[in-house]
Amino acid sequence: MIRLDPPESRKTSPVIQIAPFIDITFITLIFFMTLSVYYQLENEISISVPKAEESKEVMRAPGEIIINVDSQGAVVVNQRRLDSAGLTEMLKRISSLYPNQSVIIRADKSTRHEHVIEVLNACASAHIWNIAFATTKNPAAQ
């Protein structure tokens, strides 16, 4: 007589391993928490950016450098205050590693144009051409 029942060892149901799922969940959570902290640090400086009628909300690309210029003309990147030479040096190092590096300039609306031009000159010296200016949407234009 031929026996068609599977042996007892094969009758167990499949098991889902939950430990790897928990590991991946925690790693993803840590990644997004770290990312949000850096985003908050970049926007922490109290800068009142100018309003623009044609302002659009743009999705930020990973790795963008945010250069903050306060009302007194001080340049701050990653919570470090830099002078023109320091900014140029930093941008040159970054552009040598990442040739298509993008930069966002967050200049206070009351800062003098000469300070913004210094930042633009530093970007040009470092051969960074992908530059954007941070603005807010003018409520009257809506």
91-137 confidence digits (pLDDT tens): 999 999 988 889 999 998 889 999 999 999 999 999 999 998 888 77
Average pLDDT, integer, range 45-69: 73
pLDDT: which is higher, 38 or 119:
119
Distance CA 94, CA 100 (A): 10
pLDDT: which is higher, 33 or 117:
117
Polymer length of the chain:
142
Domains contained in the chain, CATH given: 40-141 (3.30.420.270)
Q: Hey, what are 104's tokens? A: 């966002």
pTM for this model (two decimals)? 0.64
Distance CA 32, CA 52 (A): 30
Q: Which residue bears the tokens 């900014």?
A: 87
Cβ–Cβ under 8 Å, residues 94 and 121: no
Q: Whose CA is closest to 119, among 135, 109, 100, 133? A: 133
